[in-house]
Amino acid sequence: RRAKQEDSGFAFYRPDYDHHTQDRLALQAALHQALKEDDLTLHYQSILDLQTGALDWAEALLRWYRVGELVMPGAFIPLAEESGLIGSLDRFVLRRATLEAVRLGLQISVNLSPKSLHAPEVVEWVRQALEESGLEPARLCLEITEVALRGDSGASTLQTEREQAIANLKALRALGVRIALDDFGSGYSWLSCLKHTPVDLLKMAPTFVAGIGKDPRDEEMLRSLIALGHGLGLKVLAKGVETPEQLGWLREAGCDLAQGYGVARPVPLEILRMAPSSLAG
Ligand code: C2E
Ligand code: MG
Ligand code: MG
């Protein structure tokens, strides 16, 4: 039974009344173990440069091999965020992805959870990962979301978190890494968020792309977001590109980059290695 719902969106449960709590605790313990025993792995989804055809950039996506079963991040990232394990997970991904990026000769994107972006240590984590891997900083892109940048609740702790996040982003950019705003356009404060955040890349939320060829309003939104990004000197990436028609439309509209099942699915490292490094036309 749900005992209390905090404003933060985190729910607190009464263990004696909620048998689901047992499952959650067991899952958290198993995740902790997986991290120690190296049962976590990264899959990579290629990102296509729509103007040059280059495919030398990929997003690292976390996967958990749990007794032979593949567990997707949606099933364990929220748990990791609740239990405080997310910092260790993000750190693991940073180290692994930068090492593998060097081995593959790729540019790499890594997702950073809001909690990690609020941690003063994150700059040091990234600096260490770059140093250990030898990856050129400009070849690492960190993906953040609007959630990490909200400071509009009036609560002083949130304001401090937002300030810490902005300070971290500035320090990260000073290292030479790039910052992407993920799922841009899906939240409710993305415009003001964009104004105050140092970023290099806008990853447009996939909902707009789904409307290409179907809904003129989505197409107009896409054109506007592309113009907005370019006007601010940013690169613009379309997420969730599934069809050749969408790909063609986006290239025509001047979008810089595309990612989605229509370009490439997320795959293990060994399979990415066999993929072509560019797609002509
Ligand atoms: P995201 O960063 O928005 O990642 C994109 C998600 O959309 C991935 O799901 C990807 O497999 C999926 N996707 C890609 N192309 C298409 C498409 O054309 N159609 C559809 N329907 N889906 C597509 P995935 O791998 O399950 O990841 C889900 C979310 O989990 C990510 O969303 C990200 O927020 C989080 N996540 C994944 N890996 C990490 C990680 O290493 N650290 C952190 N903090 N979060 C992660
Ligand atoms: Mg992402
Ligand atoms: Mg998403």
The predicted structure's pLDDT at residue 8 = 45
What is the number of the ligand 1 atom nearest to the C-alpha of 80? Answer: 44
The predicted structure's pLDDT at residue 279 = 75
CA distance to 60, 62, 278, per residue, from 66 (Å): 19, 13, 34
Distance CA 45, CA 59 (A): 5
The preferred substitution site among 61, 62, 100 for testing ligand 1, maximizing ligand atoms within 8 Å of CB, is: 61
List alpha helices for the chain, DSSP H. 19-37, 77-83, 86-104, 114-118, 122-133, 156-175, 190-196, 206-210, 216-231, 244-252, 269-272
Question: What average pLDDT does this structure show over 223-233?
Answer: 97
Number of H helices, E strands in the chain: 11, 12
Is the distance from the beta carbon of residue 46 to the nearest atom of ligand 1 less than 6 Å? Answer: no
> Would you place residue 4 in the very low, low, confident or very high pLDDT band (cuts 50, 70, 90)?
very low
Is the distance from the beta carbon of residue 72 to the nearest atom of ligand 1 less than 6 Å? Answer: yes
Distance CA 24, CA 30 (A): 10
Among the residue ranges 143-152, 196-205, 209-218, the one predicted with the least confidence is: 143-152
Is the distance from the beta carbon of residue 261 to the nearest atom of ligand 1 less than 6 Å? Answer: yes
As a whole-number percent, the residues of the chain with pLDDT over 90 amount to 73
Which of the ligands is closest to the CA of residue 142? 2
* Predicted interface score ipTM higher than 0.90: yes
pLDDT higher than threshold 50 for residue 9: no
183: left (phi over 0), alpha (psi -120 to 50) or beta: left
> Would you place residue 240 in the very low, low, confident or very high pLDDT band (cuts 50, 70, 90)?
very high
203 alpha carbon – ligand 3 mean position (Å)? 10
- Residue nearest ligand 1's atom 11 by CA: 266
- Is residue 257 within 8 A of residue 47, CB to CB? The reply is yes
Question: What average pLDDT does this structure show over 44-57?
Answer: 96
Token couple for 264: 């490439």
The predicted structure's pLDDT at residue 23 = 83
Question: What average pLDDT does this structure show over 34-45?
Answer: 95
Q: Which of 279, 281, 252 is nearest to 55 (CA)?
A: 279
pLDDT higher than threshold 90 for residue 56: yes
- Is residue 243 within 8 A of residue 232, CB to CB? The reply is no
- Residue nearest ligand 1's atom 14 by CA: 260
Question: What average pLDDT does this structure show over 234-258?
Answer: 98
Q: What is the mean pLDDT of the chain?
A: 89
What is the identity of the amino acid at 191?
A: L
Q: Is residue 108 classed as helix, strand or coil in its secondary structure?
A: strand
Question: What average pLDDT does this structure show over 109-128?
Answer: 96
Span 263-273, pLDDT tens digits: 999 999 999 88
Q: Is residue 144 classed as helix, strand or coil in its secondary structure?
A: strand
Among the residue ranges 70-84, 94-108, 141-155, the one predicted with the least confidence is: 141-155
Q: Is residue 182 classed as helix, strand or coil in its secondary structure?
A: strand
The predicted structure's pLDDT at residue 2 = 40
Distance CA 28, CA 199 (A): 33
Give the residue with greater pLDDT, 17 vs 204.
204
pLDDT higher than threshold 50 for residue 153: no
60 alpha carbon – ligand 1 mean position (Å)? 9
Buried b / exposed e over 254-277, threshold 16 CB at 10 Å, is: ebbbbbbebbbebbebeebeeeee
Is the distance from the beta carbon of residue 114 to the nearest atom of ligand 1 less than 6 Å? Answer: no
Is the distance from the beta carbon of residue 62 to the nearest atom of ligand 1 less than 6 Å? Answer: yes
Contact residues for 277 (Cβ-Cβ < 8 A; gap 6+): 54, 55, 56
Span 214-226, pLDDT tens digits: 999 999 999 999 9
Q: Which of 58, 196, 218 is nearest to 139 (CA)?
A: 58
| Residue 48 main-chain phi, psi, to 5 deg | -95, 130
**Parallel/antiparallel/unpaired status of strands 235-238 and 2-5:** unpaired
Residue the block writes with tokens 């976590």: 40
